[in-house]
A and B are shown apart, each in its own frame.
Chain A
Amino acid sequence: MSEKLVRKWLLDDIADIDCNESWLSDLAQEGLFLDHLGARFAYFKRDTPRTMRYRFDVLSRMLTSDELGLYDSCGWHFVTLYNEVTFGADVIYYVFTTDENATVPELHTDPMEQAASLVHLHRQSTVNLVLMIALTAVVVGVQIYMTAFTSPSTRFNTLVYGGSNYIWTTFYAFYIWQGARRYLAVRRLRRRLSGGQTLDHHADYRKVHRNGKIANIAFWGIYGLLLLVLVLIGTIFLERGTQKPIPAELNFPAARLAELETDPALELSQRTVWNHQRYLTGAVVDDIFEEGYLGSKRVYLSTTCYRLPFAFEAPAVLEGMMDRYGTYFTENAHRADTEPFDEAWITDATDGRRECYLFARRGREVWCIYLESDTQGVENILPLLAEKLDG
């Protein structure tokens, strides 16, 4: 019959060995005896409470059965090991136990030698921390570069759609904190041992555990929330390409095809698509695509409205959108600033083309409007849009 194990969250870094020894001894007094260690949890067997001593031995190689036998004959019974492989270097944590009252020599009888045994762990913790900081600096640097110094189109994509970067930044920040915690723990242990002091096997771990609990809850909470938002966006909000009924009142400012062409019949067009999307960057993007016929002539109007979290992002998004439409637009565009817009650009239908574009921004809102019509120019949309804004 398999024994049911009790799982406990590892709130302290495994390398903080004096605190972990103290914690395991306290749990033994409550009747919980370590069975094995995982990456984030420790597993315990229940038994009669006893006072036990636990000791960690940090090695860079596996012990042979004969060597384990020697520990046993010295009164230190093997409990479990945890093998940590990071960047190709093995650090193996062996856990031994003995009865509190057993008259056995300590596992480590020479503090200087124990300090030397932590050199490998110290090197590993330093390399880990430096690599995590470097990796995060690269990721954040790339993000800053893409937001500030790249082409307008890339800036546009980063500002509007680049939300997943926030998840990765949160992820890296947590691992930097973990790396720093380990580095400081190992440095503290080595300093103490190098000074000739033995480890305090009854070290107070409660403050470390409390901080660990807060950091873990904060990280997994934020991370979980971001993932949930990402899933929600993926399953609920992203509906591009699906045709759905247009609400009675649009929840974003847009001129309608029927208003522009002053033909109420166009309002009943069956070829209308409306989308509403949110992104992790905080951008909300609404689209409406309307198509109809005036006699035998096709008319088409599409409006995309980007509502950004901050007004300072709007000029870059406007520039990025203009850049996406390529040289035709930029070569034929002219400014058409009118109240209440901060900036507006228009391309006229020229050289036999029916297509016209309008790009405008006001505050944190940016519009991209595309029109195909023989009767109306895209400049006629600006007053209609202004009315909606005033309304």
Chain B
Amino acid sequence: METSAPMTEAMYYVLLTLSVPSHGYQLLSAIARASRGRVQMGPGTLYGVLTRLESEKMIQVVNDDGRRKTYEITEPGKAALAQETSRLQAMLADQERWEGEVKCLKN
């Protein structure tokens, strides 16, 4: 199975929130909501990620009226997001299992 490099936090949240087509303003508030206020993304980071993901065809522009662009996630983007989510879940599961094993050894 082909594996890609781990995503940055910014990249992950942009892909996650673009399951709903959004423009820049909507994305910033969606990311803050999705991370329960933990991630306050700067505008420089947001447009850097959008430009990169668009060039890597993980997102696409669905509406461009010359003033405002609306983006949405593409199929390759969804696949990359699912792969990264699995990786993070596996890491969390590993961490829980390991802590359980350490607890058993101590007892």
Residues of A within 8 A of B (CB): 55, 57, 59-61, 63-67, 70-71, 73-74, 76, 105-110, 112-114, 116-117
Contacts and interface: CB of A to CB of B under 8 A. Distances in A.
Contacts of B9: 110
Contact of A113 (B23, B48, B68): B48
Nearest to B49: A113
Given A66-B67, A113-B10, A74 B28 contact: yes
Nearest to B46: A70
A57 B50 CA distance: 14
Contacts of B42: 74, 76, 105-110
B47 interface: yes
B100 interface: no
A66 B40 contact: no
A64 B69 CA distance: 9
A104 B38 CA distance: 14
A116 B11 CA distance: 11
B19 interface: no
B51 interface: yes
B24 A59 contact: no
A55 B69 CA distance: 24
B52 A107 contact: no
Contacts of A73: 25
A76 to B, nearest CB: 6
9 contacts: A57-B47, A66-B67, A105-B40, A109-B41, A110-B42, A112-B8, A112-B10, A113-B10, A113-B52
Contacts of B68: 64, 66
Interface residues of B, number: 25
A60 B66 CA distance: 18
Contact of A66 (B24, B28, B46, B51): B24
A14 to B, nearest CB: 17
Interface string B11-42: 10000000000011100100000000001111
Contact of A107 (B8, B24, B44, B51): B44
Given A63-B47, A117-B44, 5 more contacts: A70-B25, A107-B43, A109-B39, A116-B52, A117-B48
B30 to A, nearest CB: 13
Contact of B45 (A60, A63, A64, A113): A113
B41 to A, nearest CB: 5
Nearest to A64: B67
Interface in B69-97: 69
B10 A110 contact: yes
B67 to A, nearest CB: 5
A192 to B, nearest CB: 16
Contacts of B48: 57, 59, 108, 113-114, 116-117
A73 B47 CA distance: 14
Given A64-B67, A105-B41, A105-B42, A70 B51 contact: no
B8 A59 contact: no
A114 B40 CA distance: 15
A53 to B, nearest CB: 12
B47 A108 contact: no
Contacts of B44: 55, 57, 71, 76, 106-108, 114, 117
B25 A109 contact: no
A114 B42 CA distance: 11
A59 B45 CA distance: 11
Nearest to A70: B24
A290 B28 CA distance: 89
B53 to A, nearest CB: 11
Residue from B11, B28, B44, B49 having most chain A Cβ neighbours under 10 A: B44
Contacts of A65: 67
